[in-house]
A and B are shown apart, each in its own frame.
Chain A
Amino acid sequence: MHLLLALFTPDWGVATAAFLASTVEFVEAFTIVLVVGVTINWRSSFLGAALAALTLAVLVAIFGVTLVKFIPLSALRLIVGIILVMFGMKWMKKALLRYSGRKALHDEEAIYEEEQRALKARGVVIPQKIDGFGVATSFKSVLLEGLEVAFIVVTFGLTGSSHAANKSSSLVSAVIGAVVAGLLVVALGALVRAPLTRIPENTLKFVVGIMLTSFGTFWGGEGLGIDWPRQDLFLLPLIAIYLLASYGAIQWLRVPAKPQAAIPAAQE
Protein backbone atom coordinates (compact mmCIF):
# COMPACT_ATOMS: atom_id res chain seq x y z
CA MET A 1 0.00 0.00 0.00
CA HIS A 2 2.83 2.36 0.96
CA LEU A 3 4.59 1.37 -2.24
CA LEU A 4 1.44 2.18 -4.26
CA LEU A 5 1.10 5.56 -2.56
CA ALA A 6 4.75 6.26 -3.21
CA LEU A 7 4.28 5.40 -6.90
CA PHE A 8 1.04 7.38 -7.32
CA THR A 9 0.45 10.75 -5.74
CA PRO A 10 -2.77 12.24 -7.10
CA ASP A 11 -2.38 15.55 -8.86
CA TRP A 12 -5.55 17.24 -7.56
CA GLY A 13 -5.21 20.19 -9.91
CA VAL A 14 -5.23 17.94 -12.97
CA ALA A 15 -7.99 15.72 -11.52
CA THR A 16 -10.23 18.74 -10.81
CA ALA A 17 -9.62 20.30 -14.23
CA ALA A 18 -10.34 16.97 -15.97
CA PHE A 19 -13.44 16.48 -13.77
CA LEU A 20 -14.91 19.90 -14.67
CA ALA A 21 -14.14 19.68 -18.37
CA SER A 22 -15.39 16.07 -18.62
CA THR A 23 -18.61 16.89 -16.72
CA VAL A 24 -19.60 19.31 -19.50
CA GLU A 25 -18.98 16.65 -22.18
CA PHE A 26 -20.77 13.91 -20.20
CA VAL A 27 -23.79 16.16 -19.64
CA GLU A 28 -23.98 16.81 -23.40
CA ALA A 29 -23.77 13.11 -24.26
CA PHE A 30 -26.17 12.08 -21.51
CA THR A 31 -28.75 14.70 -22.59
CA ILE A 32 -28.99 13.02 -26.00
CA VAL A 33 -29.07 9.50 -24.49
CA LEU A 34 -31.82 10.62 -22.13
CA VAL A 35 -34.03 12.23 -24.77
CA VAL A 36 -33.62 9.26 -27.13
CA GLY A 37 -34.49 6.92 -24.24
CA VAL A 38 -37.61 8.84 -23.23
CA THR A 39 -38.92 9.59 -26.74
CA ILE A 40 -37.95 6.44 -28.66
CA ASN A 41 -37.02 3.69 -26.21
CA TRP A 42 -34.34 2.90 -23.69
CA ARG A 43 -33.15 -0.24 -25.44
CA SER A 44 -32.19 1.68 -28.61
CA SER A 45 -30.67 4.51 -26.59
CA PHE A 46 -28.53 2.23 -24.42
CA LEU A 47 -27.55 0.08 -27.41
CA GLY A 48 -26.27 3.18 -29.24
CA ALA A 49 -24.40 4.35 -26.14
CA ALA A 50 -22.90 0.89 -25.54
CA LEU A 51 -21.77 0.57 -29.18
CA ALA A 52 -20.17 4.00 -28.94
CA ALA A 53 -18.41 3.09 -25.68
CA LEU A 54 -17.13 -0.11 -27.34
CA THR A 55 -15.88 1.80 -30.40
CA LEU A 56 -14.22 4.30 -28.09
CA ALA A 57 -12.57 1.53 -26.07
CA VAL A 58 -11.21 -0.03 -29.29
CA LEU A 59 -9.89 3.34 -30.47
CA VAL A 60 -8.21 4.03 -27.10
CA ALA A 61 -6.76 0.49 -27.05
CA ILE A 62 -5.32 0.92 -30.55
CA PHE A 63 -4.06 4.48 -30.33
CA GLY A 64 -3.53 5.00 -26.59
CA VAL A 65 -2.35 8.52 -25.81
CA THR A 66 -1.55 9.11 -29.49
CA LEU A 67 -5.32 9.27 -30.09
CA VAL A 68 -5.16 13.08 -30.28
CA LYS A 69 -2.86 12.84 -33.31
CA PHE A 70 -4.85 10.35 -35.35
CA ILE A 71 -8.54 11.17 -34.87
CA PRO A 72 -9.65 14.26 -36.84
CA LEU A 73 -11.97 15.67 -34.19
CA SER A 74 -12.95 18.73 -36.29
CA ALA A 75 -14.12 16.55 -39.19
CA LEU A 76 -16.05 14.30 -36.78
CA ARG A 77 -17.71 17.32 -35.15
CA LEU A 78 -18.72 18.66 -38.56
CA ILE A 79 -20.25 15.39 -39.79
CA VAL A 80 -22.07 14.66 -36.52
CA GLY A 81 -23.20 18.31 -36.37
CA ILE A 82 -24.71 18.30 -39.87
CA ILE A 83 -26.54 15.01 -39.27
CA LEU A 84 -27.88 16.19 -35.90
CA VAL A 85 -29.12 19.48 -37.40
CA MET A 86 -31.05 17.52 -40.06
CA PHE A 87 -32.46 15.05 -37.49
CA GLY A 88 -33.35 17.89 -35.15
CA MET A 89 -35.10 20.01 -37.77
CA LYS A 90 -37.10 17.00 -38.94
CA TRP A 91 -38.45 16.55 -35.39
CA MET A 92 -38.93 20.27 -34.78
CA LYS A 93 -40.88 20.62 -38.02
CA LYS A 94 -43.25 17.80 -37.13
CA ALA A 95 -43.83 19.16 -33.62
CA LEU A 96 -44.35 22.74 -34.86
CA LEU A 97 -46.90 21.58 -37.45
CA ARG A 98 -48.77 19.76 -34.69
CA TYR A 99 -48.68 22.71 -32.29
CA SER A 100 -49.96 25.09 -34.95
CA GLY A 101 -52.80 22.78 -35.98
CA ARG A 102 -51.39 22.15 -39.49
CA LYS A 103 -50.94 18.48 -38.71
CA ALA A 104 -53.49 16.52 -36.77
CA LEU A 105 -52.35 15.68 -33.27
CA HIS A 106 -54.16 12.35 -33.53
CA ASP A 107 -52.44 10.88 -36.54
CA GLU A 108 -51.50 7.22 -36.92
CA GLU A 109 -48.32 7.65 -34.95
CA ALA A 110 -50.16 9.36 -32.11
CA ILE A 111 -52.82 6.63 -32.07
CA TYR A 112 -50.09 4.00 -31.88
CA GLU A 113 -48.47 5.87 -28.99
CA GLU A 114 -51.86 6.10 -27.25
CA GLU A 115 -52.30 2.34 -27.60
CA GLN A 116 -48.84 1.79 -26.17
CA ARG A 117 -49.68 4.00 -23.19
CA ALA A 118 -52.97 2.16 -22.62
CA LEU A 119 -51.18 -1.20 -22.72
CA LYS A 120 -48.57 0.04 -20.27
CA ALA A 121 -51.33 1.33 -17.97
CA ARG A 122 -52.87 -2.16 -17.95
CA GLY A 123 -49.50 -3.57 -16.96
CA VAL A 124 -48.84 -5.28 -20.28
CA VAL A 125 -45.11 -5.53 -20.97
CA ILE A 126 -44.45 -4.19 -24.48
CA PRO A 127 -41.34 -5.56 -26.17
CA GLN A 128 -39.14 -2.59 -27.09
CA LYS A 129 -38.15 -2.75 -30.75
CA ILE A 130 -34.66 -1.59 -31.67
CA ASP A 131 -35.05 1.72 -33.51
CA GLY A 132 -32.28 2.59 -35.99
CA PHE A 133 -32.79 6.33 -35.58
CA GLY A 134 -32.49 6.05 -31.79
CA VAL A 135 -29.39 3.83 -31.93
CA ALA A 136 -27.66 6.10 -34.47
CA THR A 137 -28.43 9.32 -32.59
CA SER A 138 -27.28 7.92 -29.27
CA PHE A 139 -24.19 6.34 -30.86
CA LYS A 140 -22.99 9.49 -32.63
CA SER A 141 -23.40 11.72 -29.60
CA VAL A 142 -21.75 9.35 -27.13
CA LEU A 143 -18.87 8.62 -29.54
CA LEU A 144 -18.20 12.31 -30.20
CA GLU A 145 -18.42 13.35 -26.54
CA GLY A 146 -16.52 10.25 -25.41
CA LEU A 147 -13.71 11.15 -27.80
CA GLU A 148 -13.70 14.67 -26.40
CA VAL A 149 -13.40 13.25 -22.86
CA ALA A 150 -10.52 11.04 -24.06
CA PHE A 151 -8.85 14.12 -25.57
CA ILE A 152 -9.33 16.04 -22.30
CA VAL A 153 -7.83 13.19 -20.29
CA VAL A 154 -4.84 12.82 -22.62
CA THR A 155 -4.09 16.54 -22.97
CA PHE A 156 -4.64 17.37 -19.28
CA GLY A 157 -2.75 14.26 -18.23
CA LEU A 158 0.25 14.88 -20.46
CA THR A 159 0.50 18.64 -20.00
CA GLY A 160 -0.29 18.61 -16.27
CA SER A 161 3.27 17.99 -15.27
CA SER A 162 6.54 19.10 -16.80
CA HIS A 163 8.47 16.26 -15.15
CA ALA A 164 8.52 13.01 -17.10
CA ALA A 165 8.35 11.00 -13.86
CA ASN A 166 5.08 12.70 -12.88
CA LYS A 167 3.42 12.32 -16.27
CA SER A 168 1.87 8.92 -15.55
CA SER A 169 0.64 10.22 -12.20
CA SER A 170 -1.00 13.20 -13.95
CA LEU A 171 -2.57 10.90 -16.53
CA VAL A 172 -4.07 8.67 -13.82
CA SER A 173 -5.33 11.78 -11.99
CA ALA A 174 -7.01 13.00 -15.19
CA VAL A 175 -8.62 9.56 -15.67
CA ILE A 176 -9.91 9.66 -12.06
CA GLY A 177 -11.39 13.15 -12.62
CA ALA A 178 -13.15 12.03 -15.81
CA VAL A 179 -14.48 8.77 -14.27
CA VAL A 180 -15.93 10.64 -11.25
CA ALA A 181 -17.56 13.15 -13.62
CA GLY A 182 -19.10 10.31 -15.66
CA LEU A 183 -20.49 8.54 -12.61
CA LEU A 184 -21.94 11.78 -11.24
CA VAL A 185 -23.70 12.63 -14.52
CA VAL A 186 -25.14 9.09 -14.86
CA ALA A 187 -26.42 9.23 -11.24
CA LEU A 188 -28.08 12.62 -11.84
CA GLY A 189 -29.55 11.35 -15.11
CA ALA A 190 -31.11 8.35 -13.35
CA LEU A 191 -32.83 10.78 -10.95
CA VAL A 192 -34.41 12.91 -13.70
CA ARG A 193 -35.42 9.93 -15.85
CA ALA A 194 -38.76 9.23 -14.11
CA PRO A 195 -40.14 12.82 -14.14
CA LEU A 196 -39.28 13.11 -17.85
CA THR A 197 -41.58 10.23 -18.78
CA ARG A 198 -44.62 12.24 -17.55
CA ILE A 199 -44.13 15.01 -20.12
CA PRO A 200 -46.54 14.82 -23.14
CA GLU A 201 -45.13 13.05 -26.21
CA ASN A 202 -45.29 15.99 -28.64
CA THR A 203 -43.63 18.31 -26.11
CA LEU A 204 -40.82 15.82 -25.63
CA LYS A 205 -40.34 15.42 -29.37
CA PHE A 206 -40.26 19.19 -29.75
CA VAL A 207 -37.62 19.43 -26.98
CA VAL A 208 -35.58 16.67 -28.66
CA GLY A 209 -35.74 18.58 -31.95
CA ILE A 210 -34.55 21.77 -30.26
CA MET A 211 -31.73 19.94 -28.43
CA LEU A 212 -30.49 18.05 -31.51
CA THR A 213 -30.57 21.18 -33.67
CA SER A 214 -28.76 23.22 -30.99
CA PHE A 215 -26.07 20.59 -30.39
CA GLY A 216 -25.75 20.03 -34.15
CA THR A 217 -25.29 23.76 -34.82
CA PHE A 218 -22.74 23.99 -32.00
CA TRP A 219 -20.68 20.96 -33.04
CA GLY A 220 -20.99 21.62 -36.77
CA GLY A 221 -19.89 25.23 -36.21
CA GLU A 222 -16.94 24.07 -34.10
CA GLY A 223 -16.00 21.63 -36.86
CA LEU A 224 -15.83 24.56 -39.30
CA GLY A 225 -13.63 26.53 -36.92
CA ILE A 226 -16.27 28.75 -35.30
CA ASP A 227 -15.06 29.69 -31.83
CA TRP A 228 -18.38 30.10 -29.98
CA PRO A 229 -18.30 32.72 -27.20
CA ARG A 230 -18.05 31.16 -23.70
CA GLN A 231 -17.42 27.75 -25.33
CA ASP A 232 -19.99 25.08 -24.30
CA LEU A 233 -22.06 27.62 -22.34
CA PHE A 234 -23.09 29.07 -25.71
CA LEU A 235 -25.42 26.07 -26.03
CA LEU A 236 -27.85 27.82 -23.66
CA PRO A 237 -28.39 30.97 -25.80
CA LEU A 238 -28.47 28.70 -28.86
CA ILE A 239 -31.35 26.71 -27.32
CA ALA A 240 -33.08 29.99 -26.41
CA ILE A 241 -32.76 31.27 -30.02
CA TYR A 242 -34.36 28.10 -31.42
CA LEU A 243 -37.12 28.18 -28.79
CA LEU A 244 -37.91 31.79 -29.63
CA ALA A 245 -37.89 31.08 -33.37
CA SER A 246 -40.20 28.09 -32.78
CA TYR A 247 -42.65 30.30 -30.87
CA GLY A 248 -42.64 32.72 -33.81
CA ALA A 249 -43.15 29.84 -36.26
CA ILE A 250 -46.17 28.53 -34.32
CA GLN A 251 -47.77 31.99 -34.39
CA TRP A 252 -47.06 32.29 -38.12
CA LEU A 253 -48.37 28.81 -38.96
CA ARG A 254 -51.37 28.84 -36.62
CA VAL A 255 -54.51 27.83 -38.50
CA PRO A 256 -57.62 29.96 -37.87
CA ALA A 257 -60.19 27.90 -35.94
CA LYS A 258 -61.56 26.02 -38.98
CA PRO A 259 -61.36 22.24 -38.52
CA GLN A 260 -61.36 21.56 -42.31
CA ALA A 261 -58.12 23.60 -42.72
CA ALA A 262 -56.04 20.98 -40.97
CA ILE A 263 -53.96 18.86 -43.33
CA PRO A 264 -54.72 15.22 -42.64
CA ALA A 265 -51.68 13.27 -41.44
CA ALA A 266 -52.16 10.75 -44.27
CA GLN A 267 -51.20 13.39 -46.85
CA GLU A 268 -47.82 13.95 -45.24
Chain B
Amino acid sequence: MQNILGFPRAVYNFFVGDPILLTGTLAFFILIGALARTGLARAPLALGAILILGILATLGLSLWRETQPHKS
Protein backbone atom coordinates (compact mmCIF):
# COMPACT_ATOMS: atom_id res chain seq x y z
CA MET B 1 0.00 0.00 0.00
CA GLN B 2 2.82 2.34 0.97
CA ASN B 3 4.51 1.70 -2.40
CA ILE B 4 1.30 2.49 -4.29
CA LEU B 5 0.90 5.78 -2.42
CA GLY B 6 4.59 6.66 -2.60
CA PHE B 7 4.52 8.36 -5.98
CA PRO B 8 1.30 10.40 -5.51
CA ARG B 9 2.58 11.47 -2.10
CA ALA B 10 5.89 12.60 -3.57
CA VAL B 11 4.02 14.58 -6.26
CA TYR B 12 1.76 16.13 -3.62
CA ASN B 13 4.69 17.07 -1.39
CA PHE B 14 6.56 18.51 -4.38
CA PHE B 15 3.69 20.69 -5.59
CA VAL B 16 2.09 21.87 -2.41
CA GLY B 17 2.59 19.76 0.74
CA ASP B 18 -0.27 21.46 2.58
CA PRO B 19 -3.85 20.05 2.51
CA ILE B 20 -5.41 23.47 3.11
CA LEU B 21 -3.52 25.13 0.24
CA LEU B 22 -4.41 22.23 -2.07
CA THR B 23 -8.14 21.97 -1.28
CA GLY B 24 -8.66 25.72 -0.88
CA THR B 25 -7.01 26.61 -4.21
CA LEU B 26 -8.79 23.85 -6.13
CA ALA B 27 -12.14 24.65 -4.47
CA PHE B 28 -12.00 28.32 -5.45
CA PHE B 29 -10.89 27.62 -9.02
CA ILE B 30 -13.75 25.08 -9.38
CA LEU B 31 -16.17 27.64 -7.86
CA ILE B 32 -15.06 30.33 -10.32
CA GLY B 33 -15.33 27.82 -13.18
CA ALA B 34 -18.92 27.06 -12.13
CA LEU B 35 -19.82 30.74 -11.63
CA ALA B 36 -18.35 31.58 -15.05
CA ARG B 37 -21.10 29.41 -16.57
CA THR B 38 -23.84 31.44 -14.88
CA GLY B 39 -24.96 35.05 -15.33
CA LEU B 40 -21.84 36.15 -13.46
CA ALA B 41 -19.89 35.53 -16.66
CA ARG B 42 -20.97 39.04 -17.66
CA ALA B 43 -19.17 40.44 -14.58
CA PRO B 44 -15.60 39.14 -14.97
CA LEU B 45 -14.27 41.63 -12.43
CA ALA B 46 -16.57 40.16 -9.76
CA LEU B 47 -15.26 36.69 -10.64
CA GLY B 48 -11.69 37.99 -10.38
CA ALA B 49 -12.43 39.55 -6.98
CA ILE B 50 -13.91 36.26 -5.69
CA LEU B 51 -10.85 34.37 -6.94
CA ILE B 52 -8.39 36.78 -5.25
CA LEU B 53 -10.38 36.75 -1.98
CA GLY B 54 -10.57 32.96 -2.12
CA ILE B 55 -6.82 32.63 -2.54
CA LEU B 56 -6.20 35.06 0.32
CA ALA B 57 -8.70 33.22 2.54
CA THR B 58 -6.95 29.92 1.76
CA LEU B 59 -3.56 31.39 2.67
CA GLY B 60 -5.04 32.95 5.83
CA LEU B 61 -6.55 29.64 6.91
CA SER B 62 -3.28 27.81 6.29
CA LEU B 63 -1.37 30.43 8.30
CA TRP B 64 -3.94 30.26 11.11
CA ARG B 65 -3.46 26.50 11.27
CA GLU B 66 0.27 27.06 11.80
CA THR B 67 -0.49 29.15 14.90
CA GLN B 68 -2.43 26.30 16.51
CA PRO B 69 -0.41 24.50 19.19
CA HIS B 70 -1.58 20.98 18.27
CA LYS B 71 -1.71 21.06 14.49
CA SER B 72 -1.58 17.58 13.00
Contacts and interface: CB of A to CB of B under 8 A. Distances in A.
Given A93-B62, A97-B63, A102-B66, A87 B15 contact: yes
Contact of B59 (A220, A227, A249, A263): A249
A225 interface: yes
B3 interface: no
B63 A253 contact: yes
A180 interface: no
Interface string A230-264: 00000000100110010001000100000000010
Contacts of A87: 15-16
Contacts of A8: none
A249 B60 contact: yes
B25 to A, nearest CB: 5
A96 B63 contact: yes
Interface in A195-238: 213, 217, 220-221, 224-229, 238
Interface centre among A132, A217, A253 (most CB of B within 10 A): A217
Interface residues of A, number: 35
Residue in A136, A220, A228 with the greatest tally of chain B CB atoms within 10 Å:
A220
Contacts of B66: 93, 97, 102-103, 263
A82 B58 contact: no
Contacts of B47: 221, 224-226
Contacts of A217: 51-52, 55
A63 interface: no
Given A103-B66, A225-B44, A226-B51, 9 more contacts: A86-B15, A93-B21, A213-B55, A224-B33, A224-B47, A226-B32, A226-B36, A238-B52, A253-B63
